[in-house]
Amino acid sequence: MESHESPHDRTPDAAREALDTLNADRSTLADHIVTPPWFYPALAAITTAFVASPAAPTPFVQSMVVVAGSVSLIFLVLAYQKRTGLAISRTAGPRSLGVLIVVGVAIVVLLGLSQALTLMGMRPWVAAVAVFTFVMVLAGCRVYDRFYDTELRSGR
């Protein structure tokens, strides 16, 4: 790949100007990627349905909950993409990645707990796990959003 810039273009002022432009672009992108207020409650509700699905009265109903949740996730992501014009496919930095991992592991643990409670005949307790899941996902997503915004704006 050839470079068409002259040695005079590589001055400290030109470098500062390029970095300032990159910072402005990151800030503009961060301003554009504002999560709609309905997104996280919808995501928390879908996740809660997955976690509560083992307590469904029949395997057919459980399967339908999982299918409906999966389809809902697809539409939720598409709605987000349409609203922002962007698709987020990776984290912006290590803190947002850490939050995503913690929330993901917690969801898997809560799903396992829900399954265990169901197998032990304690289906009513799955409701408590479901409520906790909703609150945890909602809070975790908001923390993720703050970290993502900060990391995107700072470039780290």
Q: CA-CA distance, 15 to 5, in Å (whole number)?
A: 13
pLDDT-derived band at 107 (thresholds 50, 70, 90) equals: very high
Judge whether residue 10 has pLDDT over 90: no
Q: CA-CA distance, 16 to 61, in Å (whole number)?
A: 60
CA 57 remoteness from chain centre: 30
The full set of domain ranges for the chain reads 7-154
pLDDT-derived band at 23 (thresholds 50, 70, 90) equals: low
Question: Could you tell me the two tokens for 122?
Answer: 């304690």
The pLDDT value given to residue 151: 85
121-148 residue pLDDT tens? 999 999 999 999 999 999 999 999 888 8
User: CB atoms < 10 A from the CB of 69, how many?
Assistant: 18
What residue has token string 């503009």? 28
What residue has token string 């005949």? 121
119-137 exposure pattern, b = at least 16 Cβ within 10 A, e = fewer? eeeebebbeebbeebbebb
Question: Percentage of the chain surpassing pLDDT 90?
Answer: 56
The pLDDT value given to residue 141: 92
What is the dihedral angle through the alpha carbons of 81, 83, 88, 94, rounded to the nearest 10 degrees? Answer: -160
Judge whether residue 154 has pLDDT over 90: no
Provide the 8-state DSSP code for 34: P
25-48 residue pLDDT tens? 555 655 656 788 899 999 999 999
In this prediction the pTM is 0.78
**Please, what sign has the CA dihedral across residues 7, 10, 12, 17?**
positive
Q: CA-CA distance, 71 to 151, in Å (whole number)?
A: 30
